[in-house]
Structure 1
Amino acid sequence: MRRFLFVSGLCLLLCACQHSPKKNYFYLSPLNEKAATQSASNQTSQLIGIGPVDIAEYLMRSQIIESQSDNTLTLADNAYWAEPLDKSIARVISLNLTQLNPSRSFVHFPWRNDSKPRYSLRIHIDQLSRTGRNANINATWELVDNDGKSGTLRRNFLRSIQADSGTKGLAQAYSQLLGELSKEMDDALNKAP
């Protein structure tokens, strides 16, 4: 009888483990545009710092927030970010900016003293959410002259675009929003002295 109960308990435990829902992981991706043609020398002409990237505390989680309304957050079922969101945003922005101008090289915050960039981009994400069928971003970014220790330019970036349903559609919409943010930053970098 003991053996029967032990084997039955073991079978129930194994069956319960087999029915655990599968975790799905999502990541942000860079622009799909063709990079500008690079000069024949293939040398970088400008080193740009990315960071620090600060995001609102409620976004600092591995599980994806599916929607936000009426001061309520809904977490997506079994949907997780493949990497920390602040690092993912820094990675995607540097890849986007590289595609927009391949003569630039990027270093992520914190950088070493021997690789200190002349300019850096500081980013603060206040909101990254879905409300209804729209994906939204509310960010502040600053172009900083590290030699002069001052902010050269500071802008707010507010956008809302339609997002496909599901977590995959949301991750794609966030990637597109970061692409638009990168284009605005690229324009400011092109005008920097």
Structure 2
Amino acid sequence: MKLLRLPVILLLSGLVGLAGCSTHQPAALYQLDSGNPGLPKESRGLAVLLGPVSVADYLQRETLLQRQADGSLRASTDGRWAGSLSADIDQLLLRQVAWRLDSQRVVLAPTPANFTPDAQVLLSITRLDSGSRQPAILDAQWRVLDRRGQVRDNRIVHLEEKHDGGTAAQVQAQGVLLQRLAAQLTAALKPLANQPALVEERKPAPAQVRRDEEKSRIPLAKPIRTDLEVFRF
């Protein structure tokens, strides 16, 4: 009887091993698709500071979330982000905006040393997700500042992109949404290429200001007329 039990035990242990292998398949890794942006050629193009770019807290993780019909979010079982989603967003927008402006002078915040921007983009992304039966959705708000720090454009956007339901198709749709956002930002930035140069007004030195004030308080001397004759010998 003991000899007959041994093959059965080996067979059961083999089935358990196969079941364990099937439930521990490695998840696929995904990155956002930045499209096919060309390399900018203009070295003296519009100088743009892109950022700070803030991303919603729920997106600051490697888990690829799936939006459900009731609005809830669940972690994907067959995929996750390959690294930082925030970093992917930054690089996608950088490449897209630089290509669309044809400018080598588009940089990410914080401001690099010896860099004076012609324009700055402040961007907040509050939603970027999708589901097998839910379209990819991007909610964001951005402001464009000119050389003087004045707001030249301000917009709240809501973008949607359909897909065929697969995880790879969802990630691709999210990348398309960010490319569309980059196109909007570029359209708002282009008019700033013609803004007047920033000229600093020269202020007088404090000592000169004091002398001018003292002169203004001293009454002007007036000539005194007299009828006396002056004789010289």
Name the TM-score, length of structure 1 as normaliser.
0.79
- Structure 1: state its 5+ residue gaps: 1-10
Secondary structure of the residue aligned to 1:53 is strand
8 Å contact kept, 1:66–1:167: no
8 Å contact kept, 2:52–2:110: yes
Structure-1 separation of matches of 2:90 and 2:26: 28
Amino acid in the other structure paired with 2:26: K
Q: Which residue of 1 aligns with 2:29?
A: 25
Q: Point out the structure with the larger strand share.
A: 1
Structure-1 separation of matches of 2:150 and 2:84: 29
Matched, 1:65 2:74: no
Question: For 1:92-111, what aligned pairs fall within 5 Å after superposition?
Answer: 92-111=92-111
Q: Which residue of 2 aligns with 1:175?
A: 175
- In the TM superposition, what is the alpha-carbon distance from 1:174 to its structure 2 partner? 0.7
Structure-2 separation of matches of 1:47 and 1:60: 29
Quote the sequence identity (%).
Answer: 22
8 Å contact kept, 2:122–2:143: yes
Aligned residues: 177
Structure-2 separation of matches of 1:43 and 1:113: 17
Question: For 1:145-164, what aligned pairs fall within 5 Å after superposition?
Answer: 145=146, 147-164=147-164
- In the TM superposition, what is the alpha-carbon distance from 1:44 to its structure 2 partner? 3.0
Cα 1:113–1:68 shift into 2, 3 Å: farther
**Structure 1 residue runs of 4 or more that deviate by more than 6 Å after TM superposition:** none
- In the TM superposition, what is the alpha-carbon distance from 1:125 to its structure 2 partner? 0.8
Instruction: Pick the structure with greater CA Rg.
Output: 2
Once structures 1 and 2 are overlaid, which stretch shifts more, 122-131 or 98-107?
Answer: 98-107
Cα 1:67–1:44 shift into 2, 3 Å: same
Question: For 1:85-164, what aligned pairs fall within 5 Å after superposition?
Answer: 85-130=85-130, 132-145=133-146, 147-164=147-164
Q: Which residue of 1 aligns with 2:166?
A: 166
Cα 1:156–1:68 shift into 2, 3 Å: farther
8 Å contact kept, 1:30–1:96: yes
8 Å contact kept, 1:35–1:100: no
Once structures 1 and 2 are overlaid, which stretch shifts more, 126-135 or 53-62?
Answer: 126-135
Q: Which residue of 2 aligns with 1:4?
A: none
Cα 1:172–1:70 shift into 2, 3 Å: same
Instruction: Supply the RMSD in Å over aligned alpha carbons.
Output: 2.5
Secondary structure of the residue aligned to 1:46 is coil
Name the TM-score, length of structure 2 as normaliser.
0.67
Q: Which residue of 1 aligns with 2:191?
A: 191
Tell me: higher relative CO, structure 1 or 2? Use CA pairs within 8 A at least 6 residues apart.
1
